[in-house]
Amino acid sequence: MNASLGRRAAAEAIGTALLVAVVVGSGIQATELTHDTGVQLLANSLATVFGLGVLILLLGPVSGAHFNPVVTLAAWFTGRRDPHGGLALRDVVAYVPAQATGAIGGAVLADAMFAEPLVKFSTHDRSAGHLLLGEVVATAGLILLIFGLVRVGRAARAPAAVAAYIGAAYWFTSSTSFANPAVTIGRAFTDTFAGIAPASVAPFIAAQMLGAVVGLGAVAVIYGRAAPVPVGEPSPAVPSPIRTPEKAVDHE
């Protein structure tokens, strides 16, 4: 699908909003149904796995289904010398604000659906060092997975693979794997199970950016230098909209 930049940015905004609505809404529902923290986390992670997989499958052919500024920035960085024209800087400028705005909207939507205050900043402090390490690990693994799939020609498997990884990372990382600056910002706007205190947002984002660097480094070590990207249409969760040498596939 050769979507315009406007439609791709809209897909990123809507996709990120729905992702955060799934994360926050399932967290609220879980706390209303049980007081067992383990069961709450299980319900929250399962809903996120299913929701994320569906969203990548649905919106991947339009925008690449990044829903995540570190994925967008990594795609731009790795494709900046691509002769076929990878993700352009103007795409980054459109995608990242769309993702952040969508994430905030998704948190507000989830709160509205459960009759919570529409905007109430979280009091859930997540500033401990071991949680930041968890974010570095979670984000590095996500970047390695996405760009590794592209390198081995299996990007079409990203909806299931990315969703499965995030579901696993809920449990094996101390931070429960935010791994996404936009989602982190959105989750600061809800004082519910999935929230994060505003004071913890900047350290989390810094850890995620560091994780992205580590993940790209791992991709380079494991797979070597990237080969030129073949001309074609974007597959779900391929890190960048593919462009032909003559012109961009998006039509303004």
pLDDT tens sequence across 112-153: 999 999 999 999 999 999 999 999 999 999 999 999 999 999
Q: What is the pLDDT of residue 240?
A: 44
Question: What would the mean pLDDT of 212-236 be, rounded to a whole number?
Answer: 72
The predicted-structure confidence for 70-128, as pLDDT tens digits, reads as follows 999 999 999 876 655 578 999 999 999 999 999 999 999 999 999 999 999 999 999 99
Q: Does residue 246 register a pLDDT over 70? A: no
Mean pLDDT value across the chain: 89
Q: Does residue 242 register a pLDDT over 50? A: no
Q: What is the pLDDT of residue 251?
A: 36
Question: What would the mean pLDDT of 21-42 be, rounded to a whole number?
Answer: 97
> If you write DSSP's letter for every residue of 145-168 in order, what string do you get?
HHHHHHHTT-GGGHHHHHHHHHHH
Q: Superfamily assignment of 5-223 in CATH?
A: Glycerol uptake facilitator protein. (1.20.1080.10)
Residues with Cβ within 8 Å of residue 197, at least 6 apart in sequence: 121, 122, 123, 124, 125, 126, 127, 188
Question: What would the mean pLDDT of 172-182 be, rounded to a whole number?
Answer: 97
Tally helices (H) and strands (E) across the chain: 8, 0
The predicted-structure confidence for 34-67, as pLDDT tens digits, reads as follows 999 999 999 999 999 999 999 999 999 999 999 9
Length of the chain: 252
Q: What is the Cα–Cα distance from 58 to 7, expressed in whole angstroms?
A: 14
Question: What would the mean pLDDT of 167-183 be, rounded to a whole number?
Answer: 97
What percent of the chain is predicted at pLDDT more than 90?
83
